[in-house]
C-alpha cells in the first residue's frame, strides 16, 4: 500500500492538503423582503481554520445555519469532502460530521461535564442503562487527544467561561464532528482565554479537523485564521490570505469603503454627580433567608455568599465609568440592582441627588435612566413584535410614544424610522418583526432607543456585542457625543479595548467586590485581563 502510494507521492500529498472539507456553491437564501445570502461561494481546505467576516446583517449566521441544517437554502449546493449533501435538520449535518458551538453555551449548570456531554446522545434501548464508564473513557480520550484538559467529573457551575467553551467543543467532538462551526467564539473570553482557545483550535486542525468561525474581531481573525471569506450584503466579496491583509483593509473590504480614523479622547467629566451607589449588597438567594437590613459585613460574618459585596461609586455628568470583570462576577446583579430589577439587602442608589432605592424599574427609566441590557432577547426586545412596537417597549409613558394618555402610533413610527436611519439599522422596514433582524441590527435598534429622550444616565451592558466594526465605531461615536453633552454612562463590557477606549474611570469587579481601580489611559488589555482574574488582588 505504502509502496503503491509512493508513486507520485508529492502529487498525492498536495491533493490531500488542498482538498476542500466544505464547499458552498451558489448558495441563495431569501427571507420576506431580504436576500440574506446571494450566490455565496466558499471553500474551506481540510485542516484549515477558516474565518467568515462581514458587517451586521451580511448573512454570516444564515450561511452557517444552512451548513448546519437549521435552514434550507433556496438555491445552491453544499459539498462535504467532495460529496453533495442535502441537510434537512441539524441531525443530518451532525451525521455528516459537522458540529456547531453556539455563542451562548447550552450547558446545564448543575450537571457534571460528563452528564452534559452525553445528554441526548446516548440512546437507551430497551431500558438499558447508560454506560457511564465508557462515556468517561471516551471523554478522557478526546480531551487528551486534543489537549482540551476537560475533567469529566467537574460540575459545570464550577467552571469558568473558557472551560465551558472547551466542554462545548468536546461535546461536538464526542458526537463525531470533523468540521466545527464556531459562532463568535471569543466574544465572551478575556485575552488569555482567547490565546488558550486559539491553542486548542490549532491542535484540532493539526489533528485533521476543519474549523469555520464567525468573528467581528479582526485582529484575532488575522492571528488565527488560515484563510478568510468576506461577506458583504449577502454575497462573497473576497477570499483573502490573512498574511496579505491588515485589519483595516479587512474592515474596508467588509464595509466597501474607507473607515473613518478614530478620534482622540478629551475629558468631559464634570463635578456634578449623576449616579451615586453606596454600600450596595446582595446576598445569594441560594443562601436562604437572611436577616433583614443586615450589612455586608454582618452577612459575611454569618457565612452568607454575597453576589454584591458593599459596592460604592459615583458617576458624574459627562463621565463613563467602566466595570471590567470576568462574566459572572456580579456585573449582571449590579446592573439589575441599579435598575430596580432585583432586591438588594443593603445600600442605596441615588440619581441626580434623589434617592431612588425604592423606585420601580419603570419609574427609574422615567427618571432618566436608559438601559441597554445584556440579554437583548429577554430584556431588550419583543422578538415577535414589529420594530416600531419595540420602540415603545420600556418607554410606554414617554414621548414620542404617547400623546395625553394614548399611545401615539404615528409618533412611535416616525421615531423608529429616525433610529433606523441614525443608527443604520439594516431592515426592510419598521413593520418587520424584530426576530427578522440580524443580531447586530437588533442591538443597534436597542442602543438607538435607549439613547433617545436624552437620558441622564445610561447603563450599557455590552453595548456593541455582536455588532461589526463599522457599527461599533458608530455606537462609540454616539456614546462619546452624548457624554460630551452630559450623559453619565455605566459601561459593562467583555470587550477590553472598548472598556479602555471609552471609560474615563475603570473599576474591576471580582466575586461581587470592586477589587481594583485602574487608569484607562495607561492600562493594557493584558494587565486588565489579569486584574480581572484576581492576579495582584492583594495589592490592588
Ligand atoms: N428568520 C429570518 N426572517 C427574516 N429575515 C431574516 C431571518 N434571519 C435573518 N434574516 C435577515 O437576513 C439577513 C442576514 O442576517 P444574518 O443573521 O445572517 O446576518 P449576520 O451576518 O449573521 O449578522 P450579525 O453579525 O449581525 O449577526 C439580515 O438582513 C436579516 O435581517
* pLDDT tier for residue 4 given thresholds of 50, 70 and 90: very low
Residues 20 and 141 in one domain: yes
- Domain shared by 240 and 116, yes or no: yes
- Looking at the structure, tell me whether residues 237 and 303 fall in a common domain: no
Residue 204 phi/psi, 5-degree rounding, is -60, -45
The pLDDT value recorded for residue 262 is: 47
Which of 71, 438, 445 to probe ligand 1 with, by most ligand atoms within 8 A of CB? 438
Give yes or no for a contact between 17 and 195, defined as CB atoms under 8 angstroms apart.
no
- E strands along 250-401, which residues? 273-283, 306-316, 320-324, 346-351, 354-355, 369-372
The mean per-residue pLDDT over the stretch 44-58 comes to: 92
Tell me the pLDDT tens digit for each residue of 345-388. 999 999 999 999 999 999 999 899 999 988 777 778 899 999 99
Average pLDDT, the chain: 87
Alpha-carbon span 335 to 341, nearest angstrom: 8
For residue 266, the model assigns a pLDDT of 74
Q: Ligand 1 centre from 377 Cα, in Å?
A: 15
- Give the pLDDT of residue 167: 93
Laid out side by side, the sheet with 306-316 consists of 306-316, 273-283, 346-351, 354-355
The rounded distance, in Å, linking the Cα atoms of 55 and 50 is: 17
For residue 188, report the distance from its CA to the centre of ligand 1, in Å. 21
CATH number of the domain that 299 lies in? 3.40.50.300
**Interacting residues of 481 by C-beta distance below 8 A, sequence separation 6+:** none
* 325/357 same-domain check: yes
Q: Which residues line ligand 1 (CB under 6 A)?
A: 31, 34, 36, 54, 56-62, 426, 436-441, 466, 468
362 and 239 inside one domain: no
Q: DSSP for 483-530, please give it.
A: HHTT-EEEEE-S-HHHHHHH-SEEEEEETTEEEEEE-TTT--HHHHHH
Mean pLDDT of the 496-503 span? 89
184 C-alpha to center of ligand 1: Å?
15
**Residue 15 vs residue 100, higher pLDDT:** 100
Centre of ligand 1 to C-alpha 488, Å, is 33
Do residues 227 and 354 share a domain? no
pLDDT tens digits, one per residue of 265-293? 678 889 899 999 999 999 988 777 777 77
Threshold 0.90, pTM exceeds = no
- pLDDT of res. 260: 54
Query: Which of 213, 234, 255 is the last residue before a domain boundary?
Result: 255
Please report the ipTM that was assigned to this predicted complex.
0.97
* 124 confidence band (pLDDT: 50, 70, 90): low
Nearest residue by C-alpha to atom 8 in ligand 1: 436
Claim to verify: residue 32 and residue 180 sit in the same structural domain = yes
Structurally, how many domains does the chain consist of? Answer: 2
User: Does 288 lie in the same domain as 247?
Assistant: no
Select the highest-mean-pLDDT range: 61-65, 115-119, 187-191, 294-298. 61-65
Domain edge (last residue) among 221, 255, 289: 255
Q: Would you mind telling me the total number of residues written for the chain in this entry?
A: 540
Instruction: Report the percent of the chain where pLDDT is more than 90.
Output: 56
What are the start-end ranges of the E strands in 2-33? 20-31
pLDDT at 469: 82
pLDDT tens by residue, 313-332: 999 999 999 999 988 899 99
Q: What is the pLDDT of residue 539?
A: 38
User: Exposed (0-12), middle (13-18) or buried (19+): which is 434, by Cβ within 10 Å?
Assistant: buried
Domain-embedded: residue 396:
no
Residues 181 and 132 in one domain: yes
Q: Give CA–CA dist 347/308, Å, rounded.
A: 10
Q: What's the rounded mean pLDDT across residues 519-529?
A: 86
Calpha distance 39→251 (Å, rounded): 22
Atom of ligand 1 nearest to the CA of 29: 12
> Chain-centre distance of CA 200, in angstroms?
20
- 62 Cα to the center of ligand 1, angstroms: 6
In a domain, 290, yes or no: yes
Q: Is 181 inside any structural domain?
A: yes
Q: By alpha-carbon position, which residue is closest to atom 12 of ligand 1?
A: 36
Structural domain of residue 198, as residue ranges?
16-255
Helix (H, G, I), strand (E, B) or coil at 296: helix
Q: What are phi and psi of 256, to 5 degrees?
A: 80, 15
* Position 1 pLDDT exceeds 80: no
Residue 393 within any structural domain of the chain? no
The reply to whether 321 falls in a domain is yes
Q: Are residues 130 and 215 in the same domain?
A: yes
Of the ranges 14-18, 116-120, 164-168, 235-239, which one carries the lowest mean pLDDT score?
Answer: 14-18
| Helix boundaries (H) for 207-280 | 218-224, 247-255
Look at residue 18 in the predicted model and tell me its pLDDT.
64
Residue 204: predicted pLDDT? 92
Q: What is the pLDDT of residues 62-94, one digit of tens each?
A: 999 999 999 999 999 999 999 999 999 999 999
Choose one of 223, 255, 287: the last residue of a domain. 255
What confidence tens digit (pLDDT) does each residue in 208-266 have?
Answer: 999 999 998 888 999 999 999 999 889 999 999 999 999 888 888 887 766 554 444 67
> Which pLDDT score is estimated for 3?
35
- Answer yes or no: is pLDDT of 10 > 50: no
Q: Are 153 and 214 in the same domain?
A: yes
Amino acid at each position: 500500500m505504502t509502496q503503491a502510494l509512493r508513486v507520485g507521492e508529492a502529487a498525492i500529498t498536495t491533493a490531500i492538503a488542498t482538498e476542500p472539507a466544505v464547499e458552498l456553491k451558489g448558495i441563495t437564501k431569501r427571507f420576506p423582503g431580504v436576500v440574506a445570502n446571494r450566490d455565496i461561494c466558499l471553500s474551506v481546505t481540510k485542516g484549515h481554520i477558516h474565518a467568515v467576516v462581514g458587517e451586521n446583517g451580511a448573512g454570516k449566521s444564515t450561511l452557517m445555519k444552512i451548513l448546519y441544517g437549521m435552514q434550507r437554502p433556496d438555491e445552491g449546493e453544499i459539498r462535504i469532502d467532495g460529496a453533495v449533501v442535502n441537510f434537512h435538520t441539524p441531525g443530518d449535518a451532525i451525521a455528516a460530521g459537522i458540529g456547531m458551538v453556539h455563542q451562548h453555551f447550552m450547558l446545564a449548570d448543575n450537571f457534571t461535564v460528563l452528564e452534559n456531554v452525553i445528554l441526548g446522545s446516548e440512546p437507551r434501548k430497551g431500558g438499558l442503562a447508560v454506560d457511564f464508564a465508557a462515556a468517561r473513557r471516551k471523554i478522557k480520550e478526546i480531551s487528551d487527544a486534543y489537549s482540551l484538559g476537560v475533567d469529566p467529573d467537574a460540575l459545570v457551575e464550577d467552571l469558568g467561561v473558557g472551560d465551558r467553551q472547551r466542554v462545548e467543543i468536546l461535546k461536538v467532538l464526542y458526537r463525531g464532528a470533523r468540521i466545527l462551526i464556531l459562532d463568535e467564539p471569543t466574544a465572551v473570553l478575556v485575552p488569555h482565554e482567547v490565546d488558550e482557545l486559539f491553542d486548542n483550535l490549532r491542535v484540532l486542525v493539526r489533528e485533521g479537523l476543519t474549523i469555520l468561525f464567525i468573528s467581528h474581531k479582526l485582529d484575532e481573525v488575522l492571528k488565527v485564521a488560515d484563510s478568510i471569506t468576506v461577506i458583504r450584503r449577502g454575497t462573497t466579496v473576497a477570499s483573502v490570505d490573512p498574511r496579505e491583509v491588515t485589519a483595516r483593509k479587512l474592515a474596508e473590504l467588509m464595509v466597501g469603503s474607507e473607515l473613518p480614523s478614530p478620534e482622540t479622547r478629551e475629558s468631559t467629566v464634570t463635578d456634578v454627580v449623576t449616579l451615586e451607589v453606596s454600600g450596595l449588597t446582595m446576598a445569594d438567594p441560594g443562601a436562604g433567608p437572611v436577616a433583614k437590613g443586615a450589612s455586608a459585613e454582618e452577612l459575611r460574618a454569618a457565612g452568607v455568599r454575597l453576589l454584591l459585596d458593599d459596592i460604592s461609586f459615583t458617576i458624574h455628568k459627562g463621565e463613563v465609568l467602566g466595570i471590567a470583570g470576568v462574566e459572572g462576577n456580579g456585573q449582571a446583579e449590579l446592573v439589575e440592582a441599579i435598575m430596580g430589577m432585583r432586591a438588594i439587602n443593603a445600600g442605596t442608589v441615588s440619581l441626580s441627588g434623589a434617592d431612588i432605592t425604592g423606585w420601580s424599574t419603570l419609574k427609574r427609566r422615567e427618571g432618566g435612566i436608559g438601559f441597554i441590557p445584556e440579554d437583548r432577547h429577554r430584556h431588550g426586545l419583543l422578538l415577535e413584535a414589529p420594530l416600531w412596537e419595540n420602540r415603545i417597549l420600556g418607554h410606554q409613558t414617554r414621548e414620542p410614544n404617547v400623546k395625553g394618555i394614548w399611545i401615539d402610533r404615528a409618533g412611535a413610527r416616525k421615531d423608529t424610522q429616525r433610529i433606523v436611519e441614525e443608527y443604520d439599522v439594516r431592515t426592510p422596514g419598521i413593520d418587520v418583526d424584530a426576530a427578522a433582524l440580524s443580531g447586530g441590527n437588533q442591538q443597534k435598534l436597542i442602543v438607538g432607543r435607549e439613547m433617545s429622550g436624552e437620558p441622564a444616565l445610561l447603563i450599557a451592558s455590552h453595548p456593541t456585542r455582536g455588532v461589526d466594526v463599522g457599527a461599533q465605531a458608530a455606537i462609540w461615536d454616539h456614546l462619546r457625543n452624548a457624554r460630551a453633552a452630559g450623559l453619565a454612562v455605566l459601561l459593562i463590557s467583555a470587550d477590553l479595548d472598548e472598556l479602555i477606549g471609552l471609560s474615563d474611570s475603570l473599576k474591576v469587579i471580582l466575586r461581587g467586590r470592586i477589587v481594583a481601580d485602574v487608569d484607562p489611559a495607561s492600562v493594557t488589555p493584558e494587565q486588565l485581563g489579569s486584574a480581572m482574574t484576581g492576579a495582584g488582588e492583594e495589592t490592588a
